[in-house]
Structure 1
């Protein structure tokens, strides 16, 4: 009987932990502030992110989204917005689709617009963190 109680209690603890972590993430606890800076073709992305960060802590930089320098900070740099790429825009996914995807991804704080920048037509999310 004690073994069954132990297994049930362990399952409950794991379930509670998962739910708690999801709630923290939904409320923005683990959402970094992402900023799209430039193309990675002629720039040192990590250096650009360090110059841009101000008092925010740089968590990582990458060039994964179509070779765009994307920085992730622990909070928005002073006076700056969080912006993130959210796929490419096309006739299938236009402004309203982009906006809906951003609102869904950033828990209704995001606003999506299709932009032409760095020779790409992509969905850019501006969001509150």
Structure 2
């Protein structure tokens, strides 16, 4: 009986290790991309068609832009992009936006993108 328990214990440890490695692999490649306005497209369907089984989630951001979250191959050279709020001339300018991105994402850099309807937005580009 003790032999069966120890064999089961080792099996459980191996299984838990494999699950942890799989979970870490998925998390390491998490990426986001920004698309059209949510009132112009069906964000959920768009993310699913753009990323298929790699898609994790979607949301409409502060500027009502469709933002897809998906798992990207870590060896990919594609940049991920996500909105980091607004760029205000007197509160958060280009250097502030860049600092927010660099502090949040590894190899992240920010750009203030002009928006004709509202304040400029801070968009962060990063590698997953």
TM-score, normalisation: structure 1? 0.67
1:68 equivalent in alignment to 2:65: yes
The number of aligned residues is 101
* Partner residue of 2:83 out of 72, 82, 85: 85
Secondary structure in 2 aligned to 1:35?
A: strand
Cα separation, partners in 2 of 1:72 and 1:118, compared to 1, 3 Å = farther
Could you say what the CA RMSD is over the residues aligned between the two structures, in angstroms? 2.7
Q: Within 5 A, what are the aligned runs for 1:32-111?
A: 32-53=30-51, 57-75=54-72, 80-91=78-89, 92-107=91-106, 109-111=107-109
Which structure has the greater CA radius of gyration?
2
Tell me, which stretches of 5 or more residues in structure 2 are unaligned?
A: 1-23
TM-score, normalisation: structure 2? 0.67
- The structure richer in helix per residue is 2
Secondary structure in 1 aligned to 2:114?
A: strand
8 Å contact kept, 1:39–1:118: no
Tell me, which stretches of 5 or more residues in structure 1 are unaligned?
A: 1-24
Name segments (4+ residues, structure 1) moved above 3 Å.
Answer: 28-31, 117-120
